[in-house]
């Protein structure tokens, strides 16, 4: 199972009015593990950002003026998402812009390159009807630190969404042990017997797995400027 958690920043709200993508950030998740692979690029939109959009992302025309055009990074981006399921918060917005950029260079829609698209905003609304389900609200709800997030950024938001998405979908990895019809016996619960019946192997992480995990935690810890709770927990345990 390969997911690409994706976000974009744009010059405005609608490509029909000539607005363009100025940043793409995407994080790879394989079998519910963040691999450390990502795709990130700033893009020269060859136009100004609307004032409202600029307040959100802070990416000025001057900053973007020497960045590549979308067509210069398109092949690398499409190769990165090839065959994966895209996880996007408010997916119609990002897809609309990505498809407009691809159309400009004579390429097929983004869904022709990936295995599917899941809108994490729709998923959140189904889980929490009537609640606020913005990325910031979900970070608060699931205990994901976003204290360092002053402006929106595609890569940072993708990293936050990856944590939120894994938290939101954690229950979907159930072993479905209720499918085993095992009666309780004295001193042993039915659930314990069901778990024994599964005969699950114990797979320990390799040294490479442990190092990749440590590298990921260190990167998140650095981005959060030391505010991450797992480091505080480790300090207490030591």
Q: For 146-164, how does the pLDDT look when each residue is reduced to its tens digit (9 = 90+)? A: 776 555 789 999 999 999 9
Query: pLDDT (tens digit, 9 = 90+) per residue, 88-104?
Result: 999 999 999 999 999 99
Question: Domain range for residue 225?
Answer: 207-237
- Point out the domain boundary residue: 126, 148, 171: 171
Could you tell me if residue 202 is inside a domain? no
Catalytic choice (19, 57, 89, 152): 152
**Alpha carbons 117 and 4: distance in angstroms, whole number:** 9
State the average pLDDT over residues 166-183. 60
How far is C-alpha 142 from the chain's CA centre? 14
* ∠ Cα 192 197 203 (to 5°): 90
Same domain, 130 and 232: no
**Alpha carbons 182 and 143: distance in angstroms, whole number:** 36
Could you tell me if residue 226 is inside a domain? yes
Q: How many CB atoms lie within 10 A of CB 49?
A: 23
Task: Give the three-state DSSP class for 15.
Answer: helix
Could you tell me if residue 52 is inside a domain? yes
Q: Is 152 a catalytic residue?
A: yes
**Alpha carbons 190 and 166: distance in angstroms, whole number:** 29
| pLDDT of 176 higher than 80 | no
């Amino acid at each position: 199972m390969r997911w690409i958690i994706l976000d974009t920043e744009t010059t405005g709200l609608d490509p029909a009015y000539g607005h363009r993508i100025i940043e793409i950030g995407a994080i790879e998740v394989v079998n519910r593990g963040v691999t450390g692979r990502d795709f990130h690029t700033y893009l020269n939109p060859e136009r100004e950002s609307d004032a409202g959009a600029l307040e959100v992302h802070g990416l000025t025309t001057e900053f973007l003026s020497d960045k590549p055009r979308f067509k210069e990074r398109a092949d690398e981006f499409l190769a990165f998402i090839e065959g994966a399921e895209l996880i996007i918060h408010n997916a119609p917005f990002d897809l609309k812009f990505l498809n407009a950029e691809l159309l400009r260079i004579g390429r097929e829609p983004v869904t022709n390159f990936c295995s599917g698209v899941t809108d994490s905003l729709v998923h959140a609304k189904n889980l929490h009807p009537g609640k606020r389900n913005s990325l910031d609200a979900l970070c608060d709800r699931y205990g994901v630190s976003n204290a360092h997030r002053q402006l929106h950024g595609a890569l940072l938001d993708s990293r936050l969404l990856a944590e939120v998405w894994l938290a939101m979908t954690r229950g979907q990895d159930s072993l479905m042990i209720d499918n085993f019809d095992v009666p309780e016996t004295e001193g042993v619960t039915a659930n314990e017997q069901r778990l024994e019946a599964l005969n699950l192997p114990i797979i320990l992480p390799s040294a490479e797995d442990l190092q990749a995990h440590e590298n990921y935690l260190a990167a998140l810890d650095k981005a959060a400027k030391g505010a991450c709770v797992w480091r505080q927990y480790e300090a207490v345990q030591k």
